Each structure stands twice: as structure tokens, then as C-alpha cells.
Chains A and B, each alone.
Chain A
Amino acid sequence: MATLHIEELTKSFPAHSKGGEPTRAIQGISFEMSGQVFVSVVGPSGCGKSTLLNIVSGVDTPSSGTVTVTQDGKPAVLGYVFQDPRLLPWRTVMQNMLYVSDLPDEEGRENAKRYLEMVGLDGSEGMWPGQLSGGMQQRVGIARAFSVHPDLLLMDEPFSHLDAITARSLREELQTLWEATKKTVLFVTHDVIEAVQLSNRIITLAHGGTVFDDTSIDLPFPRKASDPEFAAKQAEILGRFETMEAERAATLGESVDFADGLGAG
């Protein structure tokens, strides 16, 4: 089981102009997650969610603080699902799966096939990504991330570019997939309802990159919109979001805009 430990993480980017203030994306985030958990990080646009994932995945480096991913002493294997599918357009679905695989050829194929089946894409191995719809391409992206048997799976708003209906069915599939594999998942989204539907724990980031709230959710899966407990939990988290936005509006003297927190459910 992988453990992700984040301690007093900060990240600032150099100022755009000379003499300007550097942009602070993250200002002192600390949390730890471990084992079979699905953790969502939610927050408004520009709160440092994507920067956090980039640092955890090693694509970006922290300005200060530490991020460690430990896996029984071995280096942890990471899987990544991006906002867009990021498939190689000149490679078939199967070749895209094999592109990230460390397994020997035959074994890699078997493994890829199994995960493609799990996202309902059996029979599409020989197709080019351009022949698939956006939702199907993202399914390949999800299958690819699971197929490397990640100790920690990072997901960066994977459904935000899809239409509401496709996003809904992919969310349900992700839930089923997670229950079957119980991977350690760090899921970033700006959609509170999506986070409540999928996660065991929700970390809310405030504007300016600080942890505003950290809540666990103990409802059973699958979570249906008709379930009153689910609805109550949604309302509770959204309520905190509203409080956060109101506090911010009070300090900035701005009107409150909840649009960010109220994505399609």
C-alpha cells in the first residue's frame, strides 16, 4: 500500500514582470493518505490543485516542504489520468496501452486486454484513437492508468472535458473499477458533487492554496442521487464551500459566485 505524505508544501512561480510579486500557487499544504482510499481534492479554479498533482507526480518541484510517496520501501509506481486522454494518435489503442507497459510483450498484451475489457472497450484494440469518441478515448486513458498497477493513481479532472451524460457514466464505471481494484487514488476536481459521489475523503483547498477543510465520507457505494444520506452529505460539503466563498467575498468585497462549485452531478 502506498502512502502519500505531504508536509508544509509551498509552490510559487516567478513574477511575470520584473519587480512584480511571485505567484503563490500553494501556501503550506499538509496531509497524509494511505491504503485503499479514494481522496478527492476540490477547490475553485486557480487554487493550486493541478500544481499539487504535478508535484506529486514529479513533473514539477516544490518551492519548499516535502512530498514523499512510499511503497513498502520500493519506489512507488504512479498512474496518471489527465484532463484530456493524451493518447498517441498514430498508435492503436493496444499500442497505446503497451507504450506505458513494463511487462514482456505477451504478458503486456494480456494485461492491456484485461483492463480494456474492464472499461468496456474489448474489441477496440486495433482502432486508432481518432476513430473513438471523446468518452471512449478517456476510457482508454483510464484503462492505461490502471494497467500499470499503480501504487498511487493520480487523476486530474478526468471528466471535465466530457459532456454531462458521458461524464456521468464514466464516473459510475470509475467507481466500479475502484471497488474492484481498491487502488490508492488522489483525484482532483472542481466539481463538489462528483467528489462526494466518488470519494472516501474530500480535501477542500481555498483560493490561495491552503487546506480549508478535510472530511471523510463513509457512505456505501454505489452512491445514488436518490439516497437522502448522499444528498445530505452533498449539501453539507457544498455548505462549507459556500462559507468559504462567503468568507473570501467578505475579505475581497466581491460578489459570490458558486458556479465553480456546482458542476454537473
Chain B
Amino acid sequence: MSVASILDRPGFKRNRVGRALTSTWGARITSYVVFLVFWQLLAMSVARVPGPWETFEFIWKELTGGAHGGVRKGEWVEHLSVTFVRFTIGLSLGVVAGLIVGIAVGSSGFMRSLLSDVLLVFLALPAIIWAFLTVMWFGLGWEAPVYTVMLSTAPFVAVNISHGVRAVSPELHRMSDAFGVPQNRRFRSLLMPAIAGYLFTGLRFAFIIGWNAVLLAEWFGAANGVGWRSRLWYDGARYEGFVGWVIIFITIIFLVDGLILTPLQRRAFRWRRSDAPAIEIEMDHAGFEEGLAVRSA
């Protein structure tokens, strides 16, 4: 009997276990369990794949400063924070550059003809190319990771923003023209909110691509940071260390997405939610005439 037919059996969903297993949380937990089981089987059958237990044991030691390979207590914090600083600076530069180019390309036909092919070339260049080039240019140090992040994220932001700018309603522009709304207010209240959806899509892409980029650049061109640390364990044939760091940075992506991007996005799109605090008002003609009375008083 297949899984699907068990799930569809009339009695199954009625009992509590069945409901728990088919709830969204149940499905999510099930996917993790299946993944762990698969991982364990893979580790048992292939020699150079560290199993989940070994890996989590490594992460625990690495994070608590237990005895393994001469790890100092708190060393991971130094690596993580140096990577985070590089990532944040690179991403900020990438987003600002992407915004400027995206708005220019989106609002001017000339800029579009001038830059759209260039943007496509930049989009097609993988982060690893930038990692190699920046190491060649700047050598080992903070520059290679920062510029790799900037150069690989900016085109994604720019392309998304340019699409967003072109989608801004011409009617709202004309309304703003008719009322002579000043440009800075138009930027804040019309352009930015109108492209917010595109900006968030661009940011999500940029975030994931940028995180890859910083790790790659550190792998090849830095003497510290998460990328360098992963390589240290990899070069030492400590594969559980390598996989352990992969898990650490995946967790970080999840955390930043859930704790920063999603709440920001929810705030930016409050106006779309029907459950936003609504005020009941009575619309009638009497109310209108009262209004007039107030006005002339």
C-alpha cells in the first residue's frame, strides 16, 4: 500500500496522529527527519561522507570550544563576525549600486539601451569568477570578499529594480505632475513603495548569492572568516568540519531571512493585508453635512 493511499484513507485524518502528520508543521518536520535518515544512510555507505551525528558533534565542539584540533574558545565568533562584516559591507554596496543603476535603467530609455546588455553580462558572471579576479587584483585581505559580494549582487538588484521602476503606474506619475509634487517626496512616497516588491525579490537573491560569494572569496583569498575556516577543515580532510560549517551558514541564511527580511517585507506590504486595523465608519449624507457645518464654524 502506497503512502498516498494511507494518507487518503478516510480513517487516517480523523485520529490525532494522522492530523499531526498531515499538518503543515508535521510535513515540515517529516521532511527534516527524512533528510537526516537519508544523510545517515549515505554516510554509512560512502567512505568520505561524514554522518549527521559526527557533524553535529563537531558543530557542538566548534561552538563551545571543546578539545578538537586546537580550537580556541570563541574562535568561531571571530570568523563568523569577520565574514558578517564583509558580507554586510559588500551587500550594502551592491544594493546601493544596484538601486542607482536599476532606477537609471528603469526610468530612461537611453540608459536602458546603454546598460541592459552590460547588465546581462554581469548577471551571467558567476561569483567564483569575481572571487578569482578580486584575489588577483587585491591579494589576500578584506577587499576580495567585499568586492566579490558587491559585484555579484548588484546586477540582480539592478535588474529587479529596473523592472519595478518600469511597472510604476503612469497614472500615479501624472497625478503627481498635476499636483506638482516635489521630486524627493515622489521618490519616497511613490517610487520606493511601488518598487518595494521588486526590491525584496532582488534582496532575497542578492542575499543568497552574496553569502555564496563571500564564502567563495574567503575560501580562495582570505586568512580568516567562515570560508577560510571551512577550507581549513576541508584541507585537513576533516570533512565533518567542512559539512558542519556548511550547516552553520545555511542556518544563518534561514535566520536572517526569517528575522529580518520577512518582517521587513510584512511591514512594507501592510497596505495589502485585509486584516490591517480597519476603522468602521458610517457613510451617510448626514455625516457629510455635519462635516460642512464643522468647516464653516
Contacts and interface: CB of A to CB of B under 8 A. Distances in A.
Same complex: yes
Interface of A: 57-59, 78-80, 82, 84, 86, 88-91, 95, 99-100, 114, 116-124, 126-131, 133, 135-136, 144, 148, 154, 169, 172-173, 176-177, 180
B181 A99 contact: yes
Interface in B191-221: 193-194, 196
9 contacts: A78-B179, A82-B171, A95-B189, A99-B181, A99-B189, A100-B179, A116-B291, A126-B279, A169-B285
Given A99-B176, A117-B290, A128-B271, 10 more contacts: A79-B179, A88-B189, A99-B179, A118-B288, A122-B287, A123-B281, A128-B270, A133-B283, A144-B179, A180-B296
A86 B181 CA distance: 14
Contacts of B289: 176
Contact of A78 (B178, B194, B277, B281): B178
Nearest to A92: B271
B287 A120 contact: yes
Contacts of A122: 281, 287, 291
B296 A119 contact: no
Contact of B288 (A84, A120, A124): A120
A58 B178 CA distance: 8
B185 interface: yes
A88 B272 CA distance: 12
Q: Which of B172, B176, B270, B295 has the most CB of A within 10 A?
A: B295
B178 A80 contact: yes
Given A95-B189, A99-B189, A130-B272, A120 B283 contact: yes
Given A88-B193, A118-B292, A127-B279, A57 B287 contact: no
A249 B197 CA distance: 52
B169 to A, nearest CB: 8
B contact face: mostly helix, strand, loop, or mixed: helix
B21 interface: no
A180 B279 contact: no
B260 interface: no
Interface centre among A58, A86, A119, A124 (most CB of B within 10 A): A86
A100 B172 CA distance: 12
Contact of A118 (B270, B277, B295): B295
B117 interface: no
Contacts of B290: 117, 120
A58 B180 CA distance: 10
Contacts of B190: 88
Contacts of A89: 271
Contacts, number: 101
A64 to B, nearest CB: 23
Contacts of A131: 274, 276, 278
Nearest to B280: A123
B172 A86 contact: yes
Contact of A117 (B194, B276, B294): B294
Given A86-B172, A124-B281, A91 B276 contact: no
A176 B292 contact: yes
A127 B288 CA distance: 18
B8 interface: no
B78 interface: no
Given A120-B287, A120-B288, A180 B178 contact: no
A126 B277 contact: yes
A199 to B, nearest CB: 20
Contacts of B176: 99
A6 B285 CA distance: 37
B254 to A, nearest CB: 28
Contacts of A59: 174, 177-178
Given A86-B171, A89-B271, A173-B288, A124 B178 contact: no
Nearest to A150: B179
B193 A90 contact: yes
B124 interface: no
